Homo-oligomer: A and B are copies of this chain.
Amino acid sequence: MISQQYKNMLTGKSVIRELAEFASARGKEIGYDNVFDYSLGNPSVPAPPKFAEAMIELLQTKSSRELHGYSPSLGIQTVRDKVAASLNQRFNMNYTANHIFMTSAAASALAHAVRLVTGPGDEILTFAPFFPEYNPYINLTGAELKVVPAETDGFQINFEQLEQMLNEKVMAVLINTPNNPSGVVYTSATLKKLADLLSAKQKEYGHDIFLISDEPYREIIFNGVESPYVSSFYDNSISCYSYSKSLSLPGERIGYLAVNPACTDADLFVPMCGQISRGIGHNCPASIMQLAIAEVLDITSDISIYETNMNLIYNELKSLGFNVTKPGGTFYILPKALEEDAAAFCRKALKYDLILVPSDSFGCPGYFRMAYCIDTEKVKRSLPVFKRFVEETYQ
């Protein structure tokens, strides 16, 4: 039968998509330069030139079969070797290629991670504010996503609520640090406390609880901010990574899943991912993309621009009296709206061609997200407009 489940999903509207469409339509009207579009997390800085150079060299020097022939379903061995070595060197871990599974970016990595360690009826906890796509990513597997309310005083973890929500059905906890949408980076203290609590609960319940770490923003950390590596805090952990943000390659859909070598069944997980792929129709990333990525593993785009933008915006928001947590990384910030209904706040901002995203879908109502992966020049032009919007609307 034609699937009613997926047909029903068509009626759900994405606020972010609607806003992006408004921005695009308005851009056609008044020029896109005049629309201050803070809606989408599409990296604005170019990919490092070395990436295109690596691609061109591969195309000019490798034979068609070497370059375009079937690659192993777990990823190309030499690429997995290099990813493991890079992680070990940077984070003092002990990965081998056997712990690295190449994926079509973070969404695919999460699709495999969830299926590795949960089944229908199991619960997965995550923390507000959270990336709303986690809902379909998890709930369509038959497991159930439950959201621990936000700790709004700094957007670390609300441990009191977490303890209340932990129960025997919880098989995994999903975290995202540096965080979309808050821009906050979990501290070592937060990660240590989380690891201790999960370790205790594993003993109490007599089963594994996995920590799934969604970390596409791992490289985008601002000056002076501590950036602990999640998997070094807890053995039963799986990292899900994407090169979309650090290398400005979101359209190229490449990333990986890294299994902590110290976790239960560590050496089985990557082969199990190969089995999961057969059921969900995953094909490992394009071979040429894997080979090119292997040449740029340890570099990033010029991500310093995001920090410049953040400081401009954060300072302006503070001077306008906003209640806002200073981001430690990413290209997001999540200030409190100036009225309870964040959607109403964002609708009013639209009249000033300011595209802001209300936080309701992030599980933390009353705030708004700004994605400041846009030109610094445009950020600067937007600030007086933002000021005018606030003064004319709320003073």
Residues of A at the B interface (CB closer than 8 Å) are 1-3, 5-7, 9-10, 40, 42-44, 46-47, 52, 55-56, 59-60, 63-65, 67-71, 103-105, 107-112, 115-119, 122, 133, 136-137, 140-141, 171, 207-208, 248-254, 264-265, 268, 271-272, 275-276, 278-289
Contact = CB atoms under 8 A, between A and B. Distances in A.
A288 B54 CA distance: 14
Given A104-B281, A112-B281, A280-B280, A275 B9 contact: yes
B42 A68 contact: no
27 contacts: A1-B119, A2-B116, A2-B208, A2-B264, A3-B117, A3-B276, A5-B119, A6-B116, A9-B272, A9-B275, A10-B272, A42-B65, A42-B69, A42-B70, A52-B59, A55-B59, A55-B288, A64-B248, A65-B248, A68-B249, A69-B250, A108-B282, A108-B283, A111-B281, A136-B278, A252-B286, A281-B282
Stoichiometry, copies per complex: 2
A253 B3 contact: no
Contacts of A272: 3, 6-7, 9-10
A334 B64 CA distance: 28
A40 B70 contact: yes
B70 A119 contact: no
Given A3-B272, A56-B60, A69-B251, 14 more contacts: A1-B207, A3-B119, A6-B116, A7-B265, A7-B272, A10-B275, A42-B69, A68-B251, A104-B281, A104-B283, A108-B283, A110-B281, A140-B279, A254-B286
Contacts of A104: 104, 281-283
A138 to B, nearest CB: 9
Nearest to A71: B251
A43 B253 CA distance: 24
B286 A251 contact: yes
A46 B66 CA distance: 10
Contacts of A275: 6, 9-10, 136
A268 B7 contact: yes
Nearest to A288: B252
Contacts of A251: 67-71, 286-288
A141 B69 CA distance: 28
Contact of A286 (B63, B140, B253): B253
B3 A116 contact: yes
A272 B11 CA distance: 10
A330 B185 CA distance: 53
Contact of A283 (B65, B107, B278): B107
A124 to B, nearest CB: 12
Nearest to A251: B287
Contacts of A109: 281
A202 to B, nearest CB: 12
B284 A1 contact: no
A370 to B, nearest CB: 18
A47 B70 contact: no
Contacts of A60: 52, 56
Nearest to A247: B68
B47 A68 contact: yes
Contacts of A103: 281
A250 B70 contact: yes
